[in-house]
Amino acid sequence: MEYLPTEGLDMPSAAPYLSQALGGGTVDLDNINGGLMGLNVRVEDPPKFELESYIANYTGRTRYNRLYVIGTCSTHLAVDALKAAVAEAKGGKDVTRYERAVRAFAEVVPNDPEATLDMHWVDHMQKVVKAETDRLEHELKGYKNNLIKESIRMGNEDLGQHYHLIGDLSSASKAYSRMRDYCTTPTHIVSMLFKIINVAIERGDWLSVQSNVHRLRNLQSKQEEQAKVQPKLSAALGLSQLHSGSYLDAAYSFLSTDPSLGDSYTEVLTSNDVAVYGGLCALASMNRNELQRRVLDNNSFRNFLELEPQIRRAIAFFCNSKFRSCLEILEAYKADYLLDIHLQRHVQTLFTRIRTKSIQQYLIPFNRVTLDSMSKMFAPGTDGQPTDLNSPFVQELIALIQDGTLDARIDLEKNVLVSKQVDLRTEVQEAVLDNLENYVREAHIRMLRSNIIRAGLEVRADDNTTTKEIRGKRSDGYGSATLSRGPSLFQ
Amino acid sequence: MAESIQHIISLSSRLHSHDFLSKSDYDWQIQELISILKRSNYSLLSGGLLTDLDPFEHTLPFLFALLCQIDSVQSRTRSALPEDVKPGGKLWSKTIQFLRTLNSSQICYVWREWCQLVEVILRAAENVGKPLLAVRVTSDAILRVDPTASLFTSFHPTFLRLCLLSQAHSYALPILDKHISRYRTGFELPPKNAGGYILSSDNYTDNHATEATDMSTRLTHRDLSKYYLYGGMIYMALKEWDKALHSLSIVISLPVVNSVSKIMVDGFKKWVLVSLLRHGKLATTPKMISTHVARAYQALAKPYVSLADAFEKGDHHRLRTEADLGKPIWRADCNQGLVHQIFRAYDMFLVLKLGSTFSALTTGHIAKRASSSLGSTTSIESLVACLVMSEVLEAKLLQLQRDEFPTMLRFPTSVRVHSKRRDITRLELLRKGYTLELLARGIGERNNEFRMGHDNIDFLMKCQGWPGISGKGTQGGFDSTIAGVEEDIMGDIN
């Protein structure tokens, strides 16, 4: 996890700025992330997936990142996941992530032999990495002297790849960016941009992901080439939109992902992920009609949905107004989603939105609904008096009414929720009167103001002498300021 | 000497029967009389002769003589307010007599002297701590002299302060209300000269142009801001929150050159409290307040702003602590009374707000949210009953049969349109229509005075447009005007 988790959606764009501002200090960033991640989410429930088969779907650095997130967040899988993470890190060249994994592992199982740092490996690897970096940079310098474009491009690419492997992500993206001037064919450009996108995703630099995706889109290339890159592009774009909190856009992006994606993008996400992300974003942001039309009746997305049948069932239930079943399914899989590296931060928001939408949809046909029937639907299992003012469900309803989401009022005498009836004519009349009042007031103040300025009576610090004189006289017991000039008047 | 007194008296009595005179003759004669009076010997006027006349018939001589006598007493006793001028003194009763019976049509020619006299009276009354003595008589006299109350003079703030001191708020209303309900004449400041005296009514303007320039030096922004602050305070005392808020809005949005005055900051503090009392939240500040002024307000009135924040968030514990913490501040700013009323307003707005969330709930539920002064259900009940009776709230209280259940408060199911409400709306619309008409006329006048007519603006654009082409920096801004000008030229040629 190289990006900073921002809490909720308050500052969706904070992560890129922060990671950019911190620039080369990737090591620091990692530490910060590690600390925050552990604190943020704790998942007690066992997830439905099996760790080994789950992680086998992924390749590349995302394997370690995912294992680490699972290990630090889940209580059930902590040992297995962190052990795997340690092994995974040791298989690579990134020393910092190895240290981090061991540290986390030591917190969970302090006595395990693997919970101590293998200093020998660390020293060795640091030396290897140093030598490799020096070698690649030296080679690049040589290519630059020879002025052969293709060699410089490849030199930069090798360097970028190396930096990426050792976890120096900002240097990696810099090295990849330097390739641009030396790309000669469209294929080169495409591969370069994809490398930048992958690094940016790992860094959590979602702005850069979006801009590079658009750059790739605008590239003039052949039809079949376009078709080849489209699924990856849509997935990457959807991911960046998900992280910036624009769930509807993210839903559209994931929905338009071509099923040919298959296993081709496992260094970032799998088709299963596309189904889950797309399905949840759509559920949270679309209405029932749109869901039916764009998700369930969408032939290409159906391929994804078949991989995650529970998402399809949840959406189908929602479309058929069986909100309770829909919410139950989502609740059952919540642990899985909370352990997903990308979904983790958004699960709460997405779920709340889905729930709020369900309540809204549920109320549409009713003029008045008993609180009992509502709480059976949306808050099953609450003991005692579910319709008491202090019950969480009623409090939730109150919050929804107060922020204007629900247009209804609660009747605590008869325990019903009554939809509001508005008298448009009176409302309009009152609004007009209010506007008039405001207009008249403002016009009065403005006209007064123009007159004051015209008369030169603006408030100013350096009063003219006359004023001071008068004030002075007034201060000594209301001196005869008015009449002191009297005699001259009469002479 | 006796001759000149005779002369003055004869001139003045001729004026009195001015029915036979044409307007220009009348003007001419009155100017002559004033110039004679101004030239007259000091001792001639300070003799008691002229003040024995009837003030109505001989308003001008009486006024000049009175002022002169006041002045001579002042210089003799070397005090600003000698005993004679104070209530009970000889000159006091003369002045009161004058104010009661003066001829208003002549006063408007001698504004300066008139203001002097009123100020002396007001100060004398304030000095002896009997403001009420002066308030009523001056209020009547001011209105008689200037029935539109459209003229801002230096005694206006003093007068309002006296009204506040004597708690005779209603005497200030005829004068205060005029400004707000009648917009055309509501501009206290003059169109013509930098002075401050306006006379937008046609027959005044000519006569006073000269007079006003003379007086202009004496008015300051302080008088103006004080006037509106006092106005706001009078409305507050009468609990006319809307008008108070408007008055204070004027204070806080006064145009500033470089710094904010203390009066404006005081106004802002009161404005915050009044807007809480009126709307239950901070009203939006007038748009013409510039950002640096707004920032100064925020910085200087921090306790008030955070009190308002607690109020708005509906956090009564914080509201209570803020109010307790700020006690010395409220006391120093003389806003204790307003802060005290905040709590009642808080409960009132709480109940009103609940109406949009609930259609029925028990008083027990309200008690849980209300401020601590309203802990029990019975006090809530009486508050609600009071609100319902004063027509602030449309709701019903239902007392259930069994005692153990608290009283149920039921809000109306929908906004009922009864005929009464519709009538009120119609009336209000008519009134607003009338105000708008006045306002439009005022704006038209203003446009004329500022030469904002289309022709003139076109002309100015032409004048500025040409150098704008060669000038640096202005080019972007003037693009459209240049284009417009060019088009016009083409039109002319064609």
Residues A188-228 pLDDT 10s: 888 899 999 999 999 888 999 999 999 888 887 777 778 88
CATH of domain A366-446: 1.10.10
- Cα(A85)–Cα(B108) distance, integer angstroms: 95
- pLDDT at residue A490 above 60? no
Reported confidence tier of residue A310, pLDDT bands at 50, 70, 90: very high
| A450 touching B (Cβ < 8 Å) | yes
- pLDDT at residue A425 above 90? no
User: Could you give the C-alpha distances from A347 to A41, A235, B217, in angstroms and in order?
Assistant: 11, 18, 70
CB atoms within 10 A of CB A71: 26
Inter-chain residue contact B257 with A433, CB threshold 8 Å: no
Q: Which residue has the higher pLDDT, A453 or B488?
A: A453
The pLDDT > 70 percentage for chain A reads 84
CB B245 within 8 A of CB B283: yes
Chain B residues closer than 8 Å to A453 by CB: 255
Q: Among B224, B234, B294, B231, which residue's Cα sits nearest to residue B265?
A: B294
Chain B residues closer than 8 Å to A483 by CB: 67, 70-71, 74, 116, 120
CB A5 within 8 A of CB A237: no
What value of ipTM does the predicted structure carry?
0.78
Q: Which of B71, B219, B442 sits opposite A457 (nearest CB)?
A: B219
Rounded to a whole number of angstroms, the distance between the first and last alpha carbons of chain A is 93
Amino acid at B337: G
Reported confidence tier of residue A386, pLDDT bands at 50, 70, 90: low
Q: Which residue of A has its CA nearest to B357?
A: A409
List the structure tokens of A116.
Answer: 């101590």
Amino acid at A274: V
- Cα(A251)–Cα(A239) distance, integer angstroms: 10
List the structure tokens of A449.
Answer: 């103001």
The whole-number pLDDT of residue B111 equals: 74
The whole-number pLDDT of residue B419 equals: 61
For B256, phi and psi rounded to 5 degrees? -120, 150
| Integer Rg of chain A from CA | 32
Inter-chain residue contact A426 with B425, CB threshold 8 Å: yes
Inter-chain residue contact B417 with A454, CB threshold 8 Å: no
Choosing among B71, B155, B399, B439, which should be mutated to test the A contact, i.e. which has the most A CBs within 10 A? B71
CB B310 within 8 A of CB B273: no
A424-438, A439-453, B317-331, B391-405, range with the lowest pLDDT: B391-405
The whole-number pLDDT of residue B48 equals: 62
The whole-number pLDDT of residue B202 equals: 33
The whole-number pLDDT of residue A370 equals: 87
This prediction has a pTM of 0.68
The whole-number pLDDT of residue B405 equals: 67
The whole-number pLDDT of residue A34 equals: 39
- pLDDT at residue A416 above 50? yes
Over residues A331-348, the pLDDT tens digits come to: 999 988 988 889 888 999
Q: Which residue of B has its CA nearest to A398?
A: B357
Q: What is the mean pLDDT of chain A?
A: 80
- pLDDT at residue A24 above 70? no
Inter-chain residue contact A423 with B414, CB threshold 8 Å: yes
| A482 touching B (Cβ < 8 Å) | yes
Inter-chain residue contact B42 with A490, CB threshold 8 Å: yes
Q: Which of B41, B224, B428 sits opposite A433 (nearest CB)?
A: B428
- Cα(A195)–Cα(A202) distance, integer angstroms: 11
The pLDDT > 90 percentage for chain A reads 25
Give CA B150 to chain center in angstroms: 11
| Residue B361, strand partner residues | B409
For chain A, the domains span 38-117, 366-446
- Cα(A14)–Cα(B234) distance, integer angstroms: 51
- Cα(A387)–Cα(A375) distance, integer angstroms: 8
Overall average pLDDT of the A32-45 stretch: 56
Q: Among A323, A232, A316, A238, which residue's Cα sits nearest to residue A277?
A: A238
Residue ranges of alpha helices (H) inside B79-168 are 90-101, 104-107, 111-127, 131-145, 155-166
Residues of chain B with pLDDT under 50: 1, 180-217, 467-494
The whole-number pLDDT of residue B469 equals: 42
| A13 touching B (Cβ < 8 Å) | no
- Cα(A147)–Cα(A352) distance, integer angstroms: 58
